[in-house]
Amino acid sequence: MVAAVISVLLLILGQKTDYLQSLKDALSLIVHPVLLAIDVPNKSLRWIAENTADRAELLDQNKKLTSEALLLKARLQKFAAIEKENTRLHNLLESSYKIGEQFISASLIDVNLSANTQHIIIDKGHRFNLFEGQSVINEDGVIGQIIEVHPLSSRILLITDPNHAIPVEINRTGLRTIAIGNGVLNTVNLPYLPHNTDIKPGDLLITSGLGGIFPMGYPVARVSKLTPSPGEAFMRAEAATIAKIDKTREVLLVWSNQQPVPLLPSEPTTPKQTINDAR
Residues in touch with other proteins (CB under 8 A): 1-4, 6-11, 14-15, 20, 23-24, 27-28, 30-31, 33-35, 37-38, 110-117, 119, 147-148, 150, 155, 162-163, 185
Q: Which one, 90 or 164, has the nearer CB to other proteins? A: 164
Task: Tell me the C-alpha distance between 264 and 249, whole Å.
Answer: 42
Task: Tell me the C-alpha distance between 250 and 106, whole Å.
Answer: 6
CB 9 → other proteins: shortest distance, Å?
8
CB 187 → other proteins: shortest distance, Å?
12
CB 81 → other proteins: shortest distance, Å?
45
CB 145 → other proteins: shortest distance, Å?
14
CB 121 → other proteins: shortest distance, Å?
8
CB 30 → other proteins: shortest distance, Å?
6
State the Rg of the chain over Cα. Answer: 22
Residue 170, CA distances (Å) to 234, 247, 269, 274 in order: 17, 25, 28, 28
Count of CA atoms in the C-beta half-sphere (13 A) of 149: 15
Q: Which one, 28 or 177, has the nearer CB to other proteins? A: 28
CB 225 → other proteins: shortest distance, Å?
20
Give the closest residue to 219 by CA, choosing from 199, 191, 239.
Answer: 239
Helix (H, G, I), strand (E, B) or coil at 103: strand
Q: Which one, 16 or 75, has the nearer CB to other proteins? A: 16
Count of CA atoms in the C-beta half-sphere (13 A) of 7: 3
Task: Tell me the C-alpha distance between 46 and 37, whole Å.
Answer: 15
Check if the beta carbon of residue 226 is closer than 8 Å to that of residue 201: yes
Q: Which one, 84 or 119, has the nearer CB to other proteins? A: 119
Beta bridge partners of 254: 103
Q: Which one, 6 or 53, has the nearer CB to other proteins? A: 6
Q: Which one, 30 or 233, has the nearer CB to other proteins? A: 30
Q: Which one, 160 or 177, has the nearer CB to other proteins? A: 160
Give the closest residue to 180 by CA, choosing from 203, 192, 162, 157.
Answer: 162
Task: Tell me the C-alpha distance between 148 and 122, whole Å.
Answer: 11
Displacement of CA 12 from its chain's centroid (Å)? 30
Task: Tell me the C-alpha distance between 66 and 57, whole Å.
Answer: 14
